[in-house]
Amino acid sequence: MSKSIPSDSKANSQALWGGRFTTGAAERLRDYTQSVSFDWQLYRHDIAGSIAHAKMLAQIKVLKPSELKVIVDGLEEIRAQIDRGQFKWRTDLEDVHMNIEAELTARCPVGAKLHTGRSRNDQVATAMRLWLKDKIAANRSAIAGLQAALEAWASRDIEIVIPGYTHLQRAQPVLLAHHLLAYVEMLERDYERLADGLRRVDVLPLGSGAIAGSTLPLDREFVRKTLGFARISENSMDAVGDRDFIIEYNAACALLAVHLSRLAEDLILWSSAEFHFIRIGDAYTTGSSLMPQKKNPDIAELARGKSGRVIGNLVALLTLLKGLPMTYNRDLQEDKERLFDTAETVQSTLLIFAEMLGHIEVHADACKHAAADPLLLATDLADWLVRKGVAFRDAHHLVGEAVALAEKRKVPITKLKLTEWKKISPVFDKSALEIFSVEKGLAARTTHGSPNPKLVKLQLSRWQRILAERKPS
């Protein structure tokens, strides 16, 4: 356990805020303003920033080598103690930064020198950027994992044909694999957006002070290299007041959450008795407390619901920032819970989805029956007329007449007699009925990006190569 620290509020205020304050903080103020209950998650990154800062202070002769060793050893001991769950967080010390600094100073008085040349403004901005760099890497790895699960499912059921839908109405036949690869493409954009946003996260603000830098000869380049940032912030006011990188991350995650919600919706529909395309494994579904027959796709439903939280976090952050004057304002403390919640929500959803997809069974017969609907090939028939010299708009109208006649007669369109086809248009002949073959229809789609089985297999091969390169070595 950490050494005891005086809990007297007046002593704490005077120690942390200096001689400006003559009375301690009110208990309600401490409770209202504390953030350690959630920003403790930054402890590893705060300590990493502090160690880099201490090493820089030694470089510029503010700290002696012996003092540096004491400080670094003390910080590493505190980090190990927190890792073990043995550190007692104190809300009267407000945040993660004060908790760690106060504990360090209690263990070694030279720790009081650590805050030289920095403010909590640039300290917290640095810790958050370091934390977010790690989260983006984890998110991208989880996205690749979900893409791999989708690709594996697509490869496993490469022969399955289902109706493609527009307006949730049957439209044209597609391979199930083609449908699944559409989500792989959507997730790829999420993967790329996070990588692009990382460039604006990867900026070191430490050394900006509270607002106007420092009169000390701080070596910011040394700190940048030590912490592994790509570049240094160029304006001290912007550096401490900037939360664009958090909003941009949340925006990317909001779109990712929307994509996951859309995938969830398809899984929910497909697993319903009305569609009956898939069966989700028992370990990834739940039952009903009343109805013994129920098997609910709760993971997908929760993911669909959690997307609203992530979108809400983005709106909250935009609202938080929109009215703030330069530079740092305490309002910015409210960014962390929204950020932490978004990162955890999308990460947990990505991981559970990747697991669940490996436990889905396709009902091939149900898919085949749905894909056998001849109206899925109505557009193919219009294209057949175009090849016979009929203008497409006229062809569209003629096929529409045939559909209406079949509905009136309450028979499949393939059961219309040749004489009835001829009455609609003399262009129709027996070869028109050969159009109503799902296999031929898919094979005829040779444009790049279409669900032609050969093209889909090429896409699967392409994604297998891409995703193999993303697997951790």
Residues annotated as part of the active site: 167, 288
**Residues 462/177, Cβ–Cβ less than 8 Å:** no
In 210-255 the beta strands, taken as DSSP E runs, fall at: 231-232
Say which amino acid occupies 387: R
DSSP states of 155-174:
HHTTT-EEEEEETTEEEEEE
The DSSP letter of residue 109 is: G
**Residues 281/359, Cβ–Cβ less than 8 Å:** yes
Pair of tokens at residue 87: 């550190």
- How far apart CA 190 and CA 254 sit, in angstroms, is 10
- How far apart CA 327 and CA 30 sit, in angstroms, is 23
**Residues 176/154, Cβ–Cβ less than 8 Å:** yes
**Residues 209/236, Cβ–Cβ less than 8 Å:** yes
Residue 324 CB partners (closer than 8 Å, separation 6+):
241, 331, 332
In 208-299 the beta strands, taken as DSSP E runs, fall at: 231-232, 278-280
